[in-house]
Amino acid sequence: MLLRMMKTVFRLAVSVKWPLSILSTLHSVAIPRKKPRNAVLFLCLLASVKVFAAEPLNQSVHSGLTDSEVVAQVAIEEPSYQVVDVGVLAIRGYKATINRWQPLMGWLETQIPNSYFRLHPLTLDELAKGVETQGLDFVITNPGQSVMLARQYSLTWLATLRSPLNNGAAMQVGSALVVRADSPYHTLSDLKGRRLGIVSKNAFGGYLTLVYEAQLKGIDLPRFVGEIIPLGFPLDNLLYQLDDQKSGDNTAKDNRLDAAVVPVCQLEQMQTEGLINIGHYRVLDNQTPVGFHCQVSTRLYPNWSMAKTNRASQSLAKSVTQALLALPEDHLAAKSADSAGWTTAVSQLAIDQLLKDLDMHPLQTPWWQRAWQWVKLHQQWAWFVLGILVLLNAYHFWLEYRFSRRGRELINTQRQLNENRALLEHAQRIAIAGELGASLSHELNQPLAAIGHYCHGAEVRLQRGTSPEELQSVLALIQQEVTRADNIISRLRNLLKKRPVSKQPLYLHELVNDTVPLLAYEFEQHQINLAVNVSGEPYLQSLDEVGMQQLLLNLLKNAFDACVQRLELESSGTEQSVMHKPYVPTIDIDLRYQERTLLLTVTDNGTGLTEETSLLMQAFYSTKSEGLGLGLVICRDIAESHGGTFSLESAMGGGCQAQVAIPRKPEPNGVL
């Protein structure tokens, strides 16, 4: 729907623009003529200025009078030369243009008495500007430019140049796509990614006709070729640069043109003038019509035409047209213009079509102008869209604000979570210590008992007359026992300490050997066989000592509980179990120093897993009546804090196997 609206608006804009552009032309202020040739003319100008000055406020009066009329009025007062400005598109340089068209000026001056025709060789843009500012009376231009000018400004076509070579045909404009004769290109589609030299992107015969031709073949020429290099006028440069021998050695190979586009007959004309050797060149996609003598890569469009601008009077135009049509074929003016004289103006329809298809037609306003027109016409929609944009922006910022606030909350929550987890870990360690109570008190009791025994023994001996010197060795024994007790207490204190997680390099098997005694007593009590097996070359690994000890204790305690549970089942169970081999509870600690991984496996042959592993890994889930349900969760956390993994699975022959894999990290100082 929106699209259809825009289309309507566009059409409207076009129809509005048309009369507008005409009006603007009519209203534009005349500029003073260039270079007045004599005093008379100067006086004329003064008079006209007086006219302007007399009625400075009445714009309509002034604008109603065209310059030519003013000139005419002055001329009547004082008969003199009539100066006529003729703009010509200079395609081959200033001098060549003068040479080509000056004879025609002479012819016109001879045909129209009291006239002076001034020739202005101009570029495309200058020509357009000259017409716009009413600095010209007549223009002679190529067909592309003629249409562009005609549709923007009020031009009246008077005559079209006849070609001398094609039986005087008026169709004489097109492009020749030229490559070097020895180049590998044979058609336009071979030029993909190549360097193409042109005169100008606005040049009609030299560029646009080829673009149109390519478009008809489904090729978007500006995107298809690698680079388009506008070299400007004169056209001769294009062919010189294309040809190796002419371009000279200083042009680097990669700066060379691969192909060039020139107006039709340019090649042949330069050959005739002896400037180039046509044998060095080749024209691609040659489609020369029968009877046409130049090579051409496109269809042909009307030849150069002459038109009158708003400034020239009708009577002058009439006499100029008559003079043009009267020009004999073999007259110098015709020959130097490379023509066979002039004929009546030819239809420019084909050119119109081309420009429209290339989206370059002067009557087409740029897209942004059309859009602006649409906006002006549909203000309510524009406001609506603007409103939505504002709302969306506001919504975006609001979301952003909410998001950042949530982000902060999330970070806070995360920190709290970490603190809570540390607390939980600590709580669980205390819980383990409680469960280790029997074992620990036994452990601690042993050295204390020994100390007591030594003391008593020494006392008795002293009483019985043994000399104190003989008893000195006992003191050393007592000291040994004190050290042993101290070690046990500090081990326990470590476990119970609240501490920040700190990792330091240590050997895991030493930690295992330190930890196992904490449970050894309970294992013995239940006659559980504990085997520690270390394999591989031991290396230091950065570990959280207390965390790893907690992990190990958790695993051993679980294994222990499972074994005890099974022992109870076996003893209270049916007689059948007695028929089998007697149950020997066994726990294996297997520690492997692998090249990339530190692998710790605790295997038991207890009751085995009765629940899903994922369920067991959940916090506060426990199968034990007095369990906190934290052990395995904390094991996993500790393993993950070392960048490792923790897994739990059923072992062969019942029981359970817990495995911790920690990736090996080389020490920063290079010690492994």
Partner 1 sequence: MSLALPVYLIDDDDSVRRSLRFMLESYGLKITDFDSAEAFFTTVDLTLPGCALVDVRMPGLSGPQLHLELVAKNSPLAVIYLTGHGDVPMAVEALKLGAVDFFQKPADGARLAEAVVKALEHTKAHHQDNQYLETYQALTPREREILNLIAQGLKNQEIADSLCIAMRTVEIHRANLMKGMQVGSLAEMMLIYSRIAERLRLEDNR
Distance CA 456, CA 87 (A): 135
* Residues 210 and 187: beta-carbon distance below 8 Å: no
Q: How many residues interact with partner 1 (rule CB under 8 A)?
A: 29
Least CB distance to partner 1 at residue 462 (A):
9
Judge residue 632's burial from the number of C-beta atoms within 10 Å of its C-beta, 0-12 exposed, 13-18 middle, 19 or more buried: buried
503-506 and 541-544 beta bridge pairing: antiparallel
Return the residue of 477, 506, 619, 628 that touches partner 1, per CB under 8 A.
Answer: 477
Amino acid occupying residue 431: A
We find the least distance from the C-beta atom of residue 480 to partner 1, in angstroms, to be 7
Are the C-beta atoms of residues 586 and 541 closer than 8 Å to each other?
A: no
Stretch that binds partner 1, among 360-368, 473-481, 509-517, 647-655 (CB under 8 A): 473-481
Query: Per-residue string for binding with partner 1, 496-525, x by CB under 8 A?
Result: -------------------------x--xx
Piece of the chain touching partner 1 by CB under 8 A; list 87-95, 112-120, 319-327, 450-458: 450-458
Q: Which two tokens stand for residue 539?
A: 């290396």
- Which of residues 61, 382, 460, 615 is near partner 1 by CB under 8 A? 460
Q: Which of 318, 456, 497, 624 binds partner 1 (CB under 8 A)?
A: 456
**Taking contact as CB under 8 A, which single stretch among the options 118-126, 246-254, 257-265, 474-482 is the one that binds partner 1?**
474-482
- Least Å distance between CB 445 and partner 1? 5
Query: Is residue 669 classed as helix, strand or coil in its secondary structure?
Result: coil
Q: Which of 85, 137, 285, 481 binds partner 1 (CB under 8 A)?
A: 481
Instruction: List residues bridging with 180 in a β-sheet.
Output: 281
From candidates 45, 219, 474, 540, binder to partner 1 by CB under 8 A: 474
Contact, 155 vs 87, CB < 8 A? no
Q: Judge contact between 144 and 202, C-beta under 8 A.
A: yes
Pick the piece of the chain touching partner 1 (CB under 8 A) from 75-83, 102-110, 472-480, 487-495.
472-480
Where do the DSSP E strands lie in 485-612? 503-506, 529-535, 541-544, 586-593, 597-604
Q: Which is nearer to partner 1, 459 or 667 (CB)?
A: 459
| Helix, coil or strand: residue 503 | strand
Q: Which of the stretches 69-77, 312-320, 356-364, 439-447 binds partner 1 when contact is defined by CB under 8 A?
A: 439-447
* Residue 454 touching partner 1 (CB under 8 A): yes
Cα separation, 593 vs 600, whole angstroms: 9
* Cβ-based neighbour number of residue 229 at 10 Å: 14
Nearer Cβ to partner 1 (237/446): 446
Q: Which of 461, 499, 503, 664 binds partner 1 (CB under 8 A)?
A: 461
CA pair distance 235, 207, nearest whole angstrom: 12
Measured from the CB atom, is 229 or 474 closer to partner 1? Answer: 474
Task: Give me 473's structure tokens.
Answer: 């060795």
Of these, 484, 491, 664, 665, which contacts partner 1 (CB under 8 A)?
484
Bridge partner list, 657: 603, 649
- In the structure, how many helices (H) and strands (E) does the chain have? 24, 20
Residue from 246, 442, 491, 499 binding partner 1 (CB under 8 A)? 442
Applying CB under 8 A, the residues found at the interface with partner 1 are 438, 441-442, 445-454, 456-461, 464, 466, 474, 477, 480-481, 484, 521, 524-525
